[in-house]
Amino acid sequence: MADEAGRPLVYPRRLSDNQREIADRYLSRLPPASRQAVLDELAGRFQAELRGMKPVYDEIRFLARLCELARSGEFHPNLGIKVHEARRAQELGRQRPAQRTASTPKESEAEREKRLAEAQRRLADMRKLLGMSAGGESHSNPEK
C-alpha cells in the first residue's frame, strides 16, 4: 500500500501485522492522498493516550471510522498533524548530515595536528589530576 507519491505507508507501531493487513483493506478504498493522513491520525490518537486521553480498545474500528469520514469528505486531520510534522522533520534530519559533510571544508594538516596536540594536552592534564601516568597506571596505588 502506498501514498499518492508511491511511497510506502507508515503504520503506527502499535498495529500488529494482522491489523495492518485489515487496515490495508480499509485504506485501499481511499484515494492514495488520504491514506497516510488517516494513519497519522490513528497514530496521533495513540500518542494522545499517553497524555491522558481515553484509550482506543478497538484500533481497527477506530481506523474504519476514520476511513468512513475520509470517504465522505468529513475527515479533518487533527492529532495526526504533529505525527506528520515529526516524520517530515526526521526525514529532513536524515538528509542534512549528507549535505553538511558535502559542504564542510576539509581541515588542513596543520589544523589537524593542532587539534590533536590540544586533545593530547587535555588528556595529560586529566591524567595528572587523576594521578595517572601516560600509560594509564595510577601513581597513588600502594599495592604496586
User: Is pLDDT above 70 for 107?
Assistant: yes
pLDDT at position 98: 60
Q: Position 79: which residue type?
A: L
84, 37 Cβ separation under 8 angstroms = yes
Phi, psi of 10 (to 5 degrees): -105, 115
Find, among 38, 40, 33, 37, the residue nearest to 12 by Cα: 40
Q: What is the DSSP string of 83-105?
A: HHHHHHHHHHHHHHHHHHHHHSP
Q: Nine-digit cell at 18?
A: 494482522
37, 75 Cβ separation under 8 angstroms = yes
User: Is pLDDT above 90 for 2?
Assistant: no
Strand partners, 65: none
Domains in the chain: boundaries: 17-102, 108-144
pLDDT at position 137: 63
- What's the pLDDT tens digit per position in 108-131? 888 888 888 988 998 888 888 888
Phi, psi of 132 (to 5 degrees): -115, 150
Residue that is written with C-alpha cell 481506523 in the block: 63
38, 27 Cβ separation under 8 angstroms = yes
Q: Nine-digit cell at 68?
A: 468512513
